[in-house]
């Protein structure tokens, strides 16, 4: 049984790792750290864990020293020294920050995150941990840069369209909304209940840090630079990211009417074909569910699970492919995907510990 | 003092008319009808009205007979006979359904609503009631087709870009989300609390009936056909529509980097100029607030008011103008705009009875 | 037209005063202060006010100097010097803190709030501002201690039972739940959206500071000490306080069955009689609505209004009177009641500026 | 591996059984029935189950015929014939309706549910399935009457106080609030999103059907009739029941002050002793967590789990014991407890399949 270390266990991503891994059949013990609550007990910070997980919050160095695998759920730019310690100790390091998402493209990281790599020499040992894109490489990696929440939903939605050449050269629009857990545990004005309940609020319009990560994934998927625009919104819900992707098609799905008219039967038939291609593309992927034709992805159907649900649509003119994806931002968008990466790195069954069925309500 | 008639007063739009008009300085009395609750009292259906508005729910014909102005908040396709009665009686008819939104373009109406006009001869007497677009015509109209909720937010957001030639020829994407009151008063599975709380759900992707209304408005605003895509979402909130518009620009705002980089100072300066143009465009409009540069429109800041808040942004490459608009779907998106139209038709001050300050919480 | 001063205008109660008073027919101008945002503009802190209220946030002394009436929405224990300044200037001071709620009973204030009176000599000039209890005295007061939110709902619910001798000598239980605006504007862990959404949480069980205020009101209403227990809960909603009161009856409403059985017809008839007494007791009160027999008070029917809705029930045995009251905690529970007190103090119509009809949705 | 039958699988309790049992290590296969969706697939009604549970919805008779154990999640009064079939087939029948909660006290059932027993002869084979009260009997039963949601939280909160003689002879008040899933899957006006969001609403005040079930449990726990009052409320959340119990103490915890004062140190010490007794009482109970002294039970800390959290408090006078309990109404309040009963009946480890850790967010 593994001893699992989590650096930054008192944040939302950290404690979600605890919740998931406490039910993982290979995990025997935790070593947890927290800067904010060092010396305290994790079950005092999160009373939901009472009688199930108990652990003193120690220093991060102690985490590395005692663990067989280490997760870091830290702010960007502070975890690299612990990665180096893990490399030295020859144990895997799975990082939930952006530090290892950009490989050797330090310039892009620096342009968006405002800091340079602390230990650039670690990059050749690292891989971007989107299993559906990089599974083989992840299995051999020592360090995994776990994807951002928005990039996970956006990238899985566009992948088949980019890979199969359905997408044209036009700009892909990604309009996403996240539940408030995406903002983390620290109280702030915009996550104060009365400020975000019963309201919908875009933020960082045109300039969110997930832009370069999505752009890089699109390039990896299509083999070329893909123009894209991404806008995140804060939605009054706890969990979930819904992404609506607008992908200009390489060729229209049918003859276009002069006046605005509902999609023709010709267009609908063509959408069905694209749906079949998507379903085929993701056949065998344990955590991607291409919904039956006619259904629409919603966040409630993936809540508390590691699934990414995808539905396929077209606009009324058959010129824009509309893809909707839904994930639980804390699971497939963070801790669940990190566990999926751990399973790959350690050679376990990819789905171990990730069998939770979504709770529709 | 006016006697105001409301046909369909027990639906959400109908009772919102009651709530607003009961505080209108020109309104003295109501005559209300309801098919579902005929013979009952409005304050029994809506106990919030207790001690403030009391009225038996009568037949629609009685409403027309006793009123000085008539609002109809009915399903599409059933209100035309009452419009005809009002014309006969020479009193204004303000219709919240889609019946009078398409003027003489019956084909488009028929293609999306599945029915033909009952009394096509009424169309020359009617006008589309978006005051910011059609103010002069509304003042002279006998019948007003009050705009749809989504088209109001989408159209006001795009109007300056289209009118001033900022928009290029690319497809405009409109990604919108509405509070659940937009679905009306009748319980349904998708509006059942546990089905929509804590979740975000697109619906009618690529085929919502507001597509042709938005397309028609865009054409009226720009003088030419504008390719557009619109996707509505259901958000877990009571009131509000947030629309995020992606408008491909006629010319880029600055030199584009080869790699994904944050917007340059050059781009930011150009966005500021567009912001100034928007602010100038809407100067004097009593219900459109172009937010100070740097702020972002959110639904909570317009809640319970007739305002449309608009904020101006660009993507990181300066090729796509991103406009965010926020309205209260029940006020500027329905009943408030209908009262604004009543004020115009009857020659009152346009803002009378519509002075509610938004409730930020 | 009045110049109204608000000390502490950037908190929730302060800005709710702004929102209400900006629509009050007697108010012409504001002078606003804020410690947190001194030098800033109120419409920057609250963008919902844009184009409607604009004002620099000044020092509190400047507020007193320029105003005809002053409201203070400050933490407990810091407002007394400003009250003294107002007395000196001979203008009314309406205080939303607890400082003037206990009159000359400084011991009780000190026992619960942990501080002594700063200027005890002001107490003879002050009155407790529950209009339904103290209307005549309020009209003559210079300083009004505006009631706490929970005490308002609890006291109005119990008043007739205590005054008319319906209540026996047993302990009255008050179980209340408040929307999150009751916790104020400052972000905290327990008001962080993910911490309070989709959850119900009691707090300060057995020891909330509103206990002595409720107890004192009960004594004032019944003429004797009344044993009482009060528990507040935080509910996942923005506005509203629902209070469920359990009042042991002086005499049972009917014969009691040996086994648990639904209330008998005899009991129901007796409840109807009590309902009639409540309705009669509050006849003429502009802001208390005793609901028709058979209806149940809920917070949504008073939202955004100054009403207190009250419904009357009994348990199945007819030995406990169950009274439910609903208020909007920000209006009748804070700013609205303060305006009601201003109207009384200044000799205006009691309902001026308080005519908002509740928004059922 | 078991074949599990669920009659009424398309309701919320039914599908929650599916969700829990699909992760139970002893369960191999489902046979599901639904009146509303007969002939359809469960994963079409609940797309969250996609790729995890697939099953045609058959007739209830087919469920009994093919299963090793049968759960019924049906309206009251219709399931008895299926219980009889199971008895005939010698397989356990676990009933989530009220039909088997009252044993041979048909009069009480009839008085509150308005119908008589269909097959009274089944009652000697049945037991009331609250494991903490009836564990031994449940292990030997053929039919289990699974408790109501509110009675579960209320009874577990009062049990130690009643059993240990802490409670006096006064009336116990139970003030409870439930998430909206408690109202089931069928849309209705009071569960329509805009009607219950942002509001708190009592219902069936003084007359809810769970009154006699709670009263009966209190009697079973204390050995005598206990006066009690119960009021349910609908809270704007999906899951959870919070119950606040007010239990008059047999003897006061300390000297009572003449004026309202915070609880004395003497009282606090006495509450700590009661806390220790509660903790001791429930030691070894796998699903009851008596929280550490000083913490307060909230629904979010039990969400998605079978736990009942309990916290112990007193009022300021030390005369009323205040107990707060929190359960997930769909798990410990319905499907989870039913699985716990199945485990007992079939001789499995009581916690099998019920190891979900609560999700704090």
Give me the DSSP letters along D57-100: EE-HHHHHHH-SEEEE---TTS-HHHHHHHHHHT--EEE-SSTT
Q: Residue A308 — very low, low, confident or very high, per pLDDT cuts 50/70/90?
A: very high
Are the Cβ atoms of C361 and B295 closer than 8 angstroms? Answer: no
Are the Cβ atoms of A206 and B319 closer than 8 angstroms? Answer: no
Q: For residue C192, what are the β-bridge partners?
A: A192
Per-residue pLDDT tens digits for B97-132 = 999 999 999 999 999 999 999 999 999 999 999 999
B16 plus B101 within the same structural domain: yes
Per-residue pLDDT tens digits for D261-297 = 999 999 999 999 999 999 999 999 999 999 999 999 9
B166 plus B87 within the same structural domain: no
C-beta of residue D195 within 8 angstroms of C-beta of residue D189: yes
Are the Cβ atoms of C357 and B48 closer than 8 angstroms? Answer: yes
Per-residue pLDDT tens digits for B97-106 = 999 999 999 9
Per-residue pLDDT tens digits for D226-257 = 999 999 999 999 999 999 999 999 999 998 77
Q: Tell me the pLDDT of chain C (361 aa) as tens digits.
A: 999 999 999 999 999 999 999 999 999 999 999 999 999 999 999 999 999 999 999 999 999 999 999 999 999 999 999 999 999 999 999 999 999 999 999 999 999 999 999 999 999 999 999 999 999 999 999 999 999 999 999 999 999 999 999 999 999 999 999 999 999 999 999 999 999 999 999 999 999 999 999 999 999 999 999 999 999 999 999 999 999 999 999 999 998 777 899 999 999 999 999 999 999 999 999 999 999 999 999 999 999 999 999 999 999 999 999 999 999 999 999 999 999 999 999 999 999 999 999 999 9
List chain A residues with CB under 8 Å of D50.
289, 291, 301, 309
List chain B residues with CB under 8 Å of A260.
108, 211-212, 215-216
Beta strands (DSSP E) in chain A are 2-7, 27-33, 57-58, 69-72, 93-95, 126-128, 143-145, 172-178, 201-202, 228-234, 241-248, 288-290, 308-314, 320-327
Beta strands (DSSP E) in A216-274 are 228-234, 241-248
List chain C residues with CB under 8 Å of B300.
48
Q: Which of A310, A333, A334 is nearest to A322 (CA)?
A: A310
Residue C359 maps to a domain: no
C167 plus C234 within the same structural domain: yes
Are the Cβ atoms of D315 and C260 closer than 8 angstroms? Answer: no
Integer Cα distance of A184 and A180 in angstroms = 8
C139 plus C222 within the same structural domain: no
D102 plus D91 within the same structural domain: yes
Per-residue pLDDT tens digits for B251-298 = 999 987 778 999 999 999 999 999 999 999 999 999 999 999 999 999
Is the pLDDT at D198 greater than 90? The verdict is yes
Q: What is the structure's pLDDT at C259?
A: 86
Are the Cβ atoms of D361 and A198 closer than 8 angstroms? Answer: no
Q: Percentage of chain B surpassing pLDDT 90?
A: 98
C-beta of residue C140 within 8 angstroms of C-beta of residue C157: no
Q: What is the structure's pLDDT at B258?
A: 78
Instruction: Report chain A's terminal Cα–Cα distance, integer Å.
Output: 34
Helix or strand holding residue D320 (H, E)? strand D320-327
Per-residue pLDDT tens digits for D18-59 = 999 999 999 999 999 999 999 999 999 999 999 999 999 999
Dihedral sign (CA A248, A254, A256, A262): negative
In chain B, the residue whose alpha carbon lies closest to the alpha carbon of A206 is B315
Q: How is residue D56 annotated by DSSP?
A: B
Residue D22 maps to a domain: yes
Integer Cα distance of C337 and C350 in angstroms = 10
CATH number for the domain spanning B41: value is: 3.40.50.720
Domain that holds residue D62: 2-147+332-345
Q: Residue A122 — very low, low, confident or very high, per pLDDT cuts 50/70/90?
A: very high
Residues of chain C whose C-beta is under 8 A from some C-beta in A? 12, 179-181, 185-189, 191-194, 196-198, 236-238
With b meaning 16 or more CB within 10 Å and e meaning fewer, what string describes B54-74?
A: ebebbebeebbeebbbbbbbb
Are the Cβ atoms of D193 and B198 closer than 8 angstroms? Answer: no
A174 plus A318 within the same structural domain: yes
Phi, psi of C31 (to 5 degrees): -125, 120
The closest CB to that of D295, out of A47, A309, A357, belongs to A47
C-beta of residue D228 within 8 angstroms of C-beta of residue D174: yes
D179 plus D317 within the same structural domain: yes
Are the Cβ atoms of A197 and C191 closer than 8 angstroms? Answer: no
The closest CB to that of C48, out of B15, B46, B357, belongs to B357
List chain A residues with CB under 8 Å of C236.
193, 197
Integer Cα distance of C253 and C275 in angstroms = 13
B130 plus B250 within the same structural domain: no
In this prediction the ipTM stands at 0.97
Q: For residue C247, what are the β-bridge partners?
A: C321
Residue B354 maps to a domain: no
Residue B352 maps to a domain: no
Catalytic one of A86, A149, A196, A308: A149
Mutate to test the interface with C, among D155, D180, D199, D302 (most CBs of C within 10 A): D199
Dihedral sign (CA C21, C23, C26, C32): positive
> If 0-12 CB within 10 Å is exposed, 13-18 middle and 19+ buried, where does residue A1 land?
exposed
Q: What is the structure's pLDDT at A256?
A: 77
CATH number for the domain spanning D262: value is: 3.30.360.10
C149 included as an active-site residue: yes
List chain B residues with CB under 8 Å of C304.
304, 359
Integer Cα distance of C291 and C309 in angstroms = 7
Beta strands (DSSP E) in A146-186 are 172-178
Distance set, CA A113 to CA A72, A101, A145 (Å): 18, 12, 15
Integer Cα distance of D288 and D279 in angstroms = 9
Residue A167 maps to a domain: yes
Residue C361 maps to a domain: no
Catalytic one of C86, C149, C196, C308: C149
When computed from its CA atoms, the radius of gyration of chain C, rounded to whole angstroms, is 21
List chain A residues with CB under 8 Å of C189.
187
C-beta of residue A189 within 8 angstroms of C-beta of residue A234: no
Integer Cα distance of A227 and B73 in angstroms = 44
Residues of chain D whose C-beta is under 8 A from some C-beta in A? 12, 15, 19, 22-23, 46-53, 181, 197-198, 238-239, 289, 291-292, 295, 300-305, 307, 309, 330, 355-361
Per-residue pLDDT tens digits for A232-254 = 999 999 999 999 999 999 999 99
Q: Which of A64, A69, A103 is nearest to A81 (CA)?
A: A64
Residue D353 maps to a domain: no
Give me the DSSP letters along A183-208: G-SS--GGGBHHHHTT--EE-STTT-
Per-residue pLDDT tens digits for B134-178 = 999 999 999 999 999 999 999 999 999 999 999 999 999 999 999
A75 plus A177 within the same structural domain: no
Helix (H, G, I), strand (E, B) or coil at A325: strand
Q: Which of D167, B326, B100, B47 is nearest to C309 (CA)?
A: B47
Phi, psi of B27 (to 5 degrees): -100, 130
Distance set, CA C271 to CA C253, C278, C352 (Å): 8, 10, 35
Per-residue pLDDT tens digits for B173-221 = 999 999 999 999 999 999 999 999 999 999 999 999 999 999 999 999 9
Number of compact structural domains in chain D: 2
Is the pLDDT at A257 greater than 80? The verdict is no
Integer Cα distance of C292 and C312 in angstroms = 9
In chain D, the residue whose alpha carbon lies closest to the alpha carbon of C312 is D205
State mean pLDDT over D104-125: 97
Q: Name every residue whose Cβ is closer than 8 Å to that of residue A164 and which is 6 or more positions away in sequence.
A: A277, A281
A132/chain D closest Cα distance in angstroms: 18
Helix (H, G, I), strand (E, B) or coil at B245: strand
Q: Which of C125, C131, C180 is nearest to C152 (CA)?
A: C131
Q: What is the structure's pLDDT at D90?
A: 98
How far is C-alpha A227 from the chain's CA centre?
Answer: 21
Token pair 């014939």: residue: D81
Helix (H, G, I), strand (E, B) or coil at C27: strand
Are the Cβ atoms of A324 and B112 closer than 8 angstroms? Answer: no
Token pair 């796509």: residue: B320
Q: For residue A323, what are the β-bridge partners?
A: A245, A312
Q: Name every residue whose Cβ is closer than 8 Å to that of residue C336 and which is 6 or more positions away in sequence.
A: C16, C20, C305, C306, C328, C330, C354
A239/chain B closest Cα distance in angstroms: 7
Residue C291 maps to a domain: yes
C68 plus C122 within the same structural domain: yes
A157 plus A270 within the same structural domain: yes
A138 plus A232 within the same structural domain: no
C-beta of residue D64 within 8 angstroms of C-beta of residue D93: no
Are the Cβ atoms of B46 and C238 closer than 8 angstroms? Answer: no
Strands D69-72 and C241-248: unpaired
Integer Cα distance of D352 and D344 in angstroms = 10
Integer Cα distance of B274 and B263 in angstroms = 15
Counting Cα atoms < 13 Å in the Cβ hemisphere of B25 gives 9
Per-residue pLDDT tens digits for A73-111 = 999 999 999 999 999 999 999 999 999 999 999 999 999
Residues of chain A whose C-beta is under 8 A from some C-beta in D? 12, 15, 19, 22-23, 46-53, 181, 197-198, 238-239, 289, 291, 295, 300-305, 307, 309, 330, 355-361
């Amino acid at each position: 049984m593994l001893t699992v270390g989590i650096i930054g266990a008192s944040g939302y991503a950290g404690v979600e790792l605890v919740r998931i891994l406490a039910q993982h059949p290979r995990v025997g013990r935790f070593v947890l750290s927290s800067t904010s609550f060092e010396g305290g007990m994790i079950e005092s910070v999160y009373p939901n864990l009472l009688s199930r997980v108990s652990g003193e919050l120690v220093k991060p160095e102690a985490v590395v020293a005692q663990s067989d695998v280490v997760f870091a759920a830290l702010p960007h730019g502070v975890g690299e020294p612990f990665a180096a310690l893990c490399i030295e100790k020859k144990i895997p390091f799975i990082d939930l920050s952006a530090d290892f998402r950009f490989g050797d493209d330090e310039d892009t990281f620096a342009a968006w995150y405002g800091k340079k790599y602390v230990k650039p020499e670690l990059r050749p040992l690292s891989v971007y941990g989107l299993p559906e894109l990089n599974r083989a490489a992840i299995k051999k990696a020592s360090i995994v840069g776990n994807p951002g929440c928005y990039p996970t939903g956006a990238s899985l939605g566009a992948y088949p369209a980019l890979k199969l050449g359905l997408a044209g050269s036009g700009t892909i629009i990604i309009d996403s909304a996240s539940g408030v857990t995406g903002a983390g545990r620290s109280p702030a004005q915009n996550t104060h209940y009365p400020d975000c309940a019963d309201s919908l609020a875009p933020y960082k319009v045109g300039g969110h840090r997930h832009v370069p990560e999505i752009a890089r994934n699109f390039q990896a998927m299509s083999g070329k630079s893909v123009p894209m625009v991404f806008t995140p919104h804060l939605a009054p819900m706890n969990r979930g990211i819904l992404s609506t992707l607008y992908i200009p098609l390489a060729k229209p799905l049918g003859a276009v009417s002069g006046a605005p008219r509902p999609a023709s039967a010709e267009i609908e038939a063509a959408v069905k074909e694209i749906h079949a291609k998507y379903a085929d593309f993701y056949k065998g992927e344990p955590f991607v569910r291409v919904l039956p034709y006619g259904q629409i992805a919603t966040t409630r159907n993936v809540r508390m699970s590691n699934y990414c649900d995808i539905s396929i649509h077209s606009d009324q003119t058959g010129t824009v492919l509309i893809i909707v994806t839904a994930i639980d931002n804390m699971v497939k968008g963070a801790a669940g995907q990190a566990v999926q990466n751990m399973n790959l790195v350690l050679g376990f069954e990819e789905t171990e510990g990730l069998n939770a069925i979504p709770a529709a309500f």
